[in-house]
Structure 1
């Protein structure tokens, strides 16, 4: 298990919408809202599963989102997954 924080440049609602759209476009599942949720995505290397929780939102500042990866392919680093998620957003 690996946890990291993403500073999303928008509101919690915008994060949930954008993350859900990006994951579903890649063939994954997304079940969440502006406060928390989970996701599952199949990749050629194996499945990635995780959860997220919005840590607060102050107008004019990035929205901190805590992401926990619960399942990942053995040979794919948590850092690679973090960078891929940031790229989706």
Structure 2
């Protein structure tokens, strides 16, 4: 399990709407609101699952709960940061 924090560039609602659209357009799932949620999606080597919590300072804490063993966490974190940033 990996945990990291992201400060979104846009307002929170716009960021989450963009992330949801991006993930679901690629066949993944996204459920949540401006407080917390979860997401999942496919990679070329397997499935990634995670959840998020919005902190009081409007940063988003991401927790990767499941990933393919052979996929480096650094690559997964970079991709997810790109979605949420």
Partner of 2:29: 29
Number of residues paired by the alignment? 84
Q: For 2:19 and 2:56, how far apart are their aligned partners in 1?
A: 17
Q: For 1:82 and 1:56, how far apart are their aligned partners in 2?
A: 22
Unaligned runs of 5+ residues in structure 1 are 58-62
Kindly indicate whether residue 70 of structure 2 is the aligned counterpart of residue 75 of structure 1.
yes
Kindly indicate whether residue 49 of structure 2 is the aligned counterpart of residue 54 of structure 1.
no
1:87 Cα shift?
2.2
Q: For 2:39 and 2:17, how far apart are their aligned partners in 1?
A: 13
Partner of 1:41: 41
1:74 Cα shift?
0.6
Q: For 1:85 and 1:66, how far apart are their aligned partners in 2?
A: 11
Q: For 1:21 and 1:45, how far apart are their aligned partners in 2?
A: 22
